[in-house]
Every structure is written in C-alpha cells, then in structure tokens.
Amino acid sequence: MFSSAHATPQSPEAMLLDGYSAEVTSPDRKSLDAAADLMPKGSRVYIASLPNDDPQKVVEAAVHLMKADLVPVPHVVARNLKSEDHFDSLLARLAGEAGVDRALILGGDRDDSAGPYTCALELIESGILNRHGIDKIGLGIYPEGHPRIATDVLDKALDEKLAAAKAHDLETVLISQLCFDADAILKFIRTLRARGITNRIRVGLSGPAKRTTLIKYAMICGVGPSLRALKERQEMTKNLLSGERPDALVKALAEANLSDPALNIWGVHFFTFAAFKNTIDFVNEYL
C-alpha cells in the first residue's frame, strides 16, 4: 500500500531515498530497461503520459515493468483521454495485462481536451478507477504554484479531489512538481499540513542532468525561485553543459523530515529526463 519494501538505512539522506520512485515515458526503452535491470524489486516506476501516446505502448511499458517485478504507476491524464471508452479500455488493459492497481491522476496542461474530461476530479468521480481495481492514486501538487492556475483555485481543486478520493475509498499520496528550492518545498508542505492535509507526500526532484535541460523544463513548468537559482548558477560557471545533482536538496529535505515528522515526506520521486541510469547511480551512492 504505497510502502517501501527495503530495510531502513541509517543516514537521513538514505532514509529519505529508500523506496524512491522514478519516471519514464513509454517510448523510452533504454530507461525502461535500466529500471528493469537496476532498480530494487518492488520499486514504483511512473509512466508519463504525453498527449499523443499510443495506449498500446503504455500497456507494453507497464507489462515490461511488471515482468521485472517492479510496480508500474501509469499517469492517467484527463485531457488526453478521447472518450469514456478510451478511459475504461485503457484501465482494463493496464489492470488485466500488467496488474496495475495504482495510477497518477492528472488534469493535463494542454489547452484543448481530446475528449469529455477536463480535470482529475472527473476521473475520480467517474467510478471507472474503482471498476478496474485501481484503489491507490497519486495527485499532483505544486510547491511554486502553477503558471496558469491561481493558488486559491489549486487549493480548492486539491480539497475537492481529496474529498472525492476518500468517498471512493482511494488511498491517496501527493506527488510534487519538480522544484529546485528546498525552502520553497518545505514552506509549501508546512502550508498543506496547516490546512489539515495529512496525506503522505513524495517530493519531485530532478535526477542528475545537464543544466540546460533543467532550465528548459523549469521554464515549461513555470517554477520561479528554482529557475532563478539555476540561471544564477549558469551565469556563475559560464558552462551551459555543466551538470546538476540534487545532493543539497536531498540533504536539506532529509534533515527537515527527520527533525519534523509532521512534514510526513514520504520519499522522493525522480524526474529522470531520459537519463534513468544516472538517477539510479546517484541514489545508490546513498543506499
């Protein structure tokens, strides 16, 4: 039930990274193979959903991970679903062929919906998740806000999704958007806790990657302090190809989580930018 299968290590960093999850895309066979070959059995691997993804490829990726004794967690994006039948048949195949019992439920950032669904709440309330035995879900949260959605709107939407998930007996974990600023992450989590939101949170971080890649993604996501910090480091080094590692972020989050259990940070979710093995190697330095 969203729990780690590994023994608890000793250092704060290792405790935070134990049971980490990571993200792939269905066409990225190299990363899928790296996950199958190198991740501990029982690890969660999230399968991102792009607007034009072939459902067959998504199912094949989930089956590949399942056969490697990993736990596939597909993204199900409301605005990418073409119809109720598309939603229903996708979950039927994922559950039937890959044993999927959990998913990350997202609204999607595209302006136009491919079908009748516009937000994650509609997917939760449809009952289709329950019909196919999906009883554990992740919901996205945004430590630095959303570039196109006001904070009060995000807050209201999260409250509604959590209430609907509870009404449909769905165990829910919160997965944060990529962020490079520990203070912003911790402040955001404390705000959620002050609002009475007690769900476990998995913090979204980048695995080791080129700074140019991270800046490009940060601009797409609309992250503020994170983008400024990356640009400042770029200007200081004058080396666009210089790599970034999340050591400092992991250390800050791990120490805060250990000293303040109320944060209830349930590990790290890595965005890997098609460099999956680099992320695994990074984590293994601590475990």
pLDDT digits (tens, 9 = 90+) for 241-272: 346 889 999 999 999 999 999 999 999 999 99
**pLDDT, tens digit, for every residue of 206-219?**
999 887 777 777 66
Higher-confidence position of 15 and 236: 15
**Is 100 part of any domain?**
yes
Residue 93 lies in a domain: yes
Domain-located, residue 134: yes
At residue 102, the 3 state secondary structure works out as strand
Q: How many domains does the chain have?
A: 1
Domain interval for residue 225: 12-284
Whether residue 153 lies inside any domain: the answer is yes
Tokens of 2: 């969203």
Report which residue type is found at 232. E
Distance CA 18, CA 265 (A): 12
* 61: helix, strand or coil: helix
**Contact yes or no for 18/189 (Cβ under 8 A):** no
Question: Is residue 7 situated within a structural domain?
Answer: no
Could you read off the pLDDT of 54-95 as tens digits, one per residue? 999 999 999 999 999 999 999 999 999 999 999 999 999 999
- CATH code of the domain covering residue 23: 3.20.20.220
- Please report the pLDDT score of residue 2 as a whole number: 45
**Residue 2 is assigned to a structural domain of this protein:** no
Look over the chain and give the mean of its residue pLDDT values, rounded to a whole number. Answer: 89
